[in-house]
Amino acid sequence: MSDRVCLVHYHEIGLKGKNRSTFERRLVTNLHRALRDHPVRAVRRISGHVLVSVDGGQATPEMAHVISRVPGVARVSLAYLCTLDEEEYCAAAVTALHEAGEFDSFKVHARRSSTAYGRHTLEINRLVGDVLCQEFPTKRVQMHKPDVTVCVNVINASVYVYAASGPGVGGLPVGTAGKVVTLLSSGFDSPVATWMVGRRGAVCVPVHFSGRPMTPDTSEWLCQDIINALAPSGMIGRLYVVPFGERQRQISLAVPQSLRIITYRRVMFAVGERVARLEGAKALVTGESLGQVASQTLDNIAAVNETVSLPVLRPLIGSDKQEIMRRAQEIGTFELSSQSVDDCCTLFMPRRPETHARLREVHEAWDSFDHDAMIDGLVASTEYVDFDQCPSYKPPQELKERHPALAPRPWQGRTPQTGAESARF
């Protein structure tokens, strides 16, 4: 029996020019990390693909599923690795079609990357097709939209035969588009926004604003569970947690009720930008969708945006709630985000929030308390949790050197989740 391997197909990477190899190498590194719990023998580039082979020679559907969730993967196929011997790869084609389940029609699709092999693709199609017709006499050959396609790829001195193939998430390998800071809550929107930017190759550094000490820390643990659900994508290396509850109370006493949410968000953006500067990130990311809630009108978005100078990315800005929830189901965060927990979003909420804020009134509210001191205090009290998920993530050099203002200290009053290192700075 031929070895079974995972043949990884990519699309967008193949459109790159002279730097294509950089994207391929990053994808290989990310696949190594995603498959670390599987008996992987090698992950290597071959002509236009990445080949994953395993100890024992039998790759599994579970491995293929993990691979399919890694950004940069367009499709993954469970293939039989054969020599150029015709009997061997024809026998593999029979086995692959037997494993395809119920079907009425099929076709053979051959490709040849190696011109050293004597047979043309049309000859390979005819050769393998004849064998399959003899083995499956009741099935019909159908060239357009068959139930099953048996692929025979000749690459270098090997032949890869498969019928089992599934889509990947596409995009670009994480680590090829720089670093961003994402404002992460335990709801539906921000995890999806984080995933969408990570899928475009960005390393994501989430910042979660907790209602602690006014609320329990449940939302913080839920955010960690969400990050673990996104682990196969390999896009997150660290989570920052900001205890925001007491500061929200101070804001609620100082500013008009209708402007509380805008003021909360201005502080959040300012703290997020400070973390981004520390991390060397190039943008902030939010889960805002235009008009979905009061703070997400164009006037209010503009009033919040002016507090930061970094670009603010909003990948969900044109999506509705149903689209966002469908994507949450696809990426595995839906059930977690469906849980109802108290966090900073439920604290001191106005009954009638302003939907079209005037900048003059916003500035007056902003100047009614010492916002600079508040932002400094929140940054000083920020905690972080490290996750061993993202091979592209590099922690800030300042923290490596124990910067006097941002030196990690032991996690206070918390038991860190297994596999995650926790600290304060």
Whether residue 245 is annotated as binding a ligand: the answer is: no
Contact 170, 128 (CB under 8 A): no
Task: Note the pLDDT of residue 348.
Answer: 66
CATH architecture of the domain formed by 3-167: 2-Layer Sandwich (3.30)
User: 260-279 and 371-381 helices cross at what angle (nearest 10)?
Assistant: 50
Task: Note the pLDDT of residue 397.
Answer: 74
Length of the chain: 425
Each domain of the chain, given as residue ranges in start order, spans: 3-167, 179-408
d(CA 185, CA 345): 9
**Which CATH homologous superfamily contains domain 179-408?**
HUPs (3.40.50.620)
Whether residue 38 is annotated as binding a ligand: the answer is: no
> Which structure tokens are listed for 260?
């509380």
Residue with tokens 């720089």: 178
Whether residue 183 is annotated as binding a ligand: the answer is: yes
Alpha helices in 136-279 (DSSP H): 189-199, 218-229, 245-254, 260-279
Whether residue 184 is annotated as binding a ligand: the answer is: yes
Burial class (CB in 10 A: 0-12, 13-18, 19+), 254: middle
Task: Note the pLDDT of residue 401.
Answer: 44
Whether residue 209 is annotated as binding a ligand: the answer is: yes
For the whole prediction, is pTM greater than 0.75?
yes
Whether residue 296 is annotated as binding a ligand: the answer is: yes
Whether residue 175 is annotated as binding a ligand: the answer is: no
Sign of the CA dihedral running 109, 113, 119, 120: positive
Task: Note the pLDDT of residue 422.
Answer: 56
Maximum C-alpha span of the chain: 84
Task: Note the pLDDT of residue 416.
Answer: 39
Contact 239, 387 (CB under 8 A): yes
DSSP output for 204-240: EEEEEEE-TTTS-SHHHHHHHHHHHHTGGG--B-EEE
Q: Which helix (H) or strand (E) holds 61?
A: helix 61-68
Task: Note the pLDDT of residue 345.
Answer: 65
Burial class (CB in 10 A: 0-12, 13-18, 19+), 377: middle
pLDDT in tens, the chain (425 residues): 689 999 999 988 988 888 899 999 999 999 999 999 999 999 999 988 999 999 999 999 999 999 999 999 999 999 999 999 999 999 999 999 999 999 999 999 999 986 678 889 999 999 999 999 999 999 999 999 999 999 999 998 899 999 989 999 999 999 999 999 999 999 999 999 999 999 999 999 999 999 888 888 889 999 999 999 999 899 999 999 999 999 999 999 999 999 999 999 999 999 999 999 999 999 999 999 998 888 889 999 999 999 999 999 999 999 999 999 999 999 999 999 999 877 666 666 667 888 899 999 999 999 999 999 999 999 999 989 899 899 999 988 765 543 343 333 333 434 434 345 555 44
Task: Note the pLDDT of residue 346.
Answer: 65
